[in-house]
Structure 1
Amino acid sequence: MEQIVLKVGHVFGADHPWNVSLEGLSEDVAEATDGNVEIEVYPSSQLGGDRDMAEGIQMGTIEMGLFGTGALQSLDERLIVEELPYAWPTREHAYNAIDGELGEALAEILKEQGMHTISWWESGYRHITNSVKPINSPSDLEGIKLRVPEAQLRIDTFDELGAMPTPMAFSEVFYGLQQNVIDGQENPLATIYDSKFYEVQEHLALTGHIWGSAVLTISESAWNDIPDEYKDIIAEKAEEWKEKEREMIREQDDELVKKLEEAGMKVTQPDVKPFQEIVQSMWSEYEDEFGKELIEIVKQYSSE
């Protein structure tokens, strides 16, 4: 049988939990299939940015990608529903949703785009960095030019909070911060550290305004070409690495705050209630875009 080679890309660096986990997945799948399935891992946007990779999967030029769902909003705006601000009081709430009805619903949406969902991993809670001043309350965000992903929900969230949201591809963020094109950005701690944003940012505010999953996808055509026995192995190993990847994200959060402080960042932990109150109205405002059914699934899991 001819060897199956699957290219998988993502936007983060080699030390990020995504990449560590994908490399582990690659090794485990190769071993379990006697080398008949090889997953080649391409970190650091080597296969392009999120949009490029998503289009590549749809066109069949690359097989797999690991994405934050917010990065896939250009395919279908409903994919970003999990990123309604302050939807997830704990990670367990989010895990239950994405491993349950919410994940099933989002997988159906991805299937409409020609993408098969292999497993739901984690991006984590997002926090704000900037080079202007400490953020202790929403009023501190006024006038801050803040990079956000090219996603309308994120733009609207920071419009509501008083910042100046600036959509920008992730691959351009470090340079934008370095050149003062933007004042700040928002991302999970693992991304902030791995991307060395501490070199060009002074302040970190632990706002936890959004929790995001990470979806490991493969093109439907590539998936359909894989023998069933190998599909089962890939799915099984991806689920094993899902648990390891999530554990890495959780364990890193505490130690990364210390590392970022050691690297010179000044860390604040603002009371999030004023932030929550300002963005609460967005839940009803986005009912038309996401559909009441999806919103209700999020509400159900977020309150359990």
Structure 2
Amino acid sequence: MNYIANTRAALAAALLGAGAMLNAGLAQAETTLKVGHVFAADHPWQIALEGLSKDVAEATGGEVVIQVYPSSQLGGDREVAEGLQLGTVEMGLFGTGALQVLDKRLIIEELPYAWPTREKAYAAVDGELGEALAGILAAKNINTLSWWESGYRHITNSARPIETPEDLKGIKLRVPEAELRLDTFRELGALPTPMAFSEVFTSLQQKVVDGQENPLATIYASKFYEVQQNLALSGHIWGSAILTISSKAWDKLTDEQKTILRDKAEIWKEKEREMIRASDEEVLAKLEAAGMKVTRPDPAAFQQMVQPVWDKYESVFGEDLLAIVRKYSN
């Protein structure tokens, strides 16, 4: 049994125990927080959120209950982000690319090839970069609880294997609704097509687009291997997963409940990151077993081609934020 399966099995047993305690009348839920995300129910995000829910319920004696809604049940990224700002959604977990609808600076971590290692990215979002972006969100009535991980993004397609930037030329590639991602793949010669995540599988299946780009865990959990033959381990972007709560919901919690929620979110940050790291090799083997042809393109040529993207967005992100990214990425 793999790491994620072990984690889920342990959570299931613990949740049964917590449920029995609540049903016995030992605690009554006073505050319910709904948290939404776009990925499937077997994705590490879902498993980690289930664990967070269990731990918070236990630590608050059932006074705070987090209900987890995967697969865009509370809406897509844009809807959840806007709902957080308006206070109509309590919590959300998503990549920062989804937040550019609120402020374009929030997508800075997704500059192509910014993070040569996970450790450098972790240091940035756990440090000065995370603090700066959390400040931007706070001004939008959204509180940042913790910086989890989405992972390195890779390219799949049904047209041909990708070895060099030339191989991307003319490939119609689904990307999130983020101008930075569009510009990145335009520079690489692809035909980027913005599209909500919930529409991706059907669009790949019906050949509306040729390919997409996502972390390995997402590629597998979303079963893109059923409609895509080629996987290029491009690692062009590393993405965090930001766990947020609306200011409206946050203000309803007591100081003690706030401390518990933050502390448990940090604990599950580490566990979620471990799940992402542990799943990469396992998932890659499963994707190959499912018939995907895997290539490992040299990033050097890709890095050179996307330099104009960095130049273009200097005025968008500002010198201060870019200085932080460069500090941690070098």
TM-score, L = length of structure 1: 0.98
Match among 144, 150, 154 for residue 177 of structure 2: 150
Q: Which residue of 1 aligns with 2:53?
A: 26
Give the whole-Å Cα distance in 1 for the aligned partners of 2:243 and 2:29. Answer: 24
Please tell me whether residue 41 in structure 1 is matched to residue 82 in structure 2.
no
- Identify which of 292, 296, 318 aligns with 1:291: 318
CA distance, structure 2, for counterparts of residue 173 and residue 237 of structure 1? 33
Please give the secondary structure, in 2, of the residue aligned with 1:109.
Answer: helix
Aligned match of 2:91 in 64, 67, 75?
64
- How far is the alpha carbon of 1:2 from its aligned partner? 6.4
Q: Relative to structure 1, is the Cα distance of residues 2 and 39 closer, same or farther in structure 2, using a 3 angstrom cutoff?
A: closer
Contact 2:87 2:247 in 1 (8 A): no
Counterpart of 2:130 (choices 93, 103, 109) is 103
Per the alignment, residue 260 of structure 2 pairs with 233
Choose the corresponding residue for 1:93, options 101, 120, 134. 120
Give the Cα–Cα distance (whole angstroms) in 1 for the partners of residues 70 and 252 of structure 2.
25
The answer to whether 1:245 aligns with 2:277 is: no
Q: 2:40 — aligned with what?
A: 13
- Structure 1: give runs of 5+ residues left out of the alignment: none
Q: Percent identity?
A: 70
* 5+ long unaligned stretches in structure 2: 1-27
Is this contact kept in 1: 2:29–2:65, CA < 8 A?
no
Q: How far has the Cα of 1:284 moved from its partner?
A: 2.1
Structure 2 counterparts to residues 92-241 of structure 1, below 5 A: 92-241=119-268
Shift of 1:54: 1.2
What amino acid maps onto 1:4 in structure 2?
A: T
Quote the offset at 1:281 in angstroms. 2.7
Equivalent pair of 2:100/2:178 in contact (CA under 8 Å):
yes
2-side partners of 1:2 and 1:205: how far apart?
47
Query: Which deviations, in whole Å up to 9, do the C-alpha atoms of 1:166-203 show, x marking residues without a partner?
Result: 00000000010000000000000000000000000000
Does the 8 Å CA contact 2:81/2:98 hold for their aligned counterparts? no
CA shift digits 1:27-75 (9 cap, x unpaired): 0000111111100000000001001111221222220000100111111
CA separation in 2, counterparts of 1:243 and 1:74? Answer: 28
Hey, what does 1:4 align to over in structure 2? 31
Q: Which of the residues 33, 46, 53 maps onto 2:80?
A: 53
Q: Tell me the amino acid that sits aligned with residue 31 of structure 2.
A: I
Q: If the length of structure 2 is used for normalisation, what is the TM-score?
A: 0.91
RMSD over equivalenced CA pairs, Å? 0.9
Runs (4+) of structure 1 exceeding 6 A deviation are none
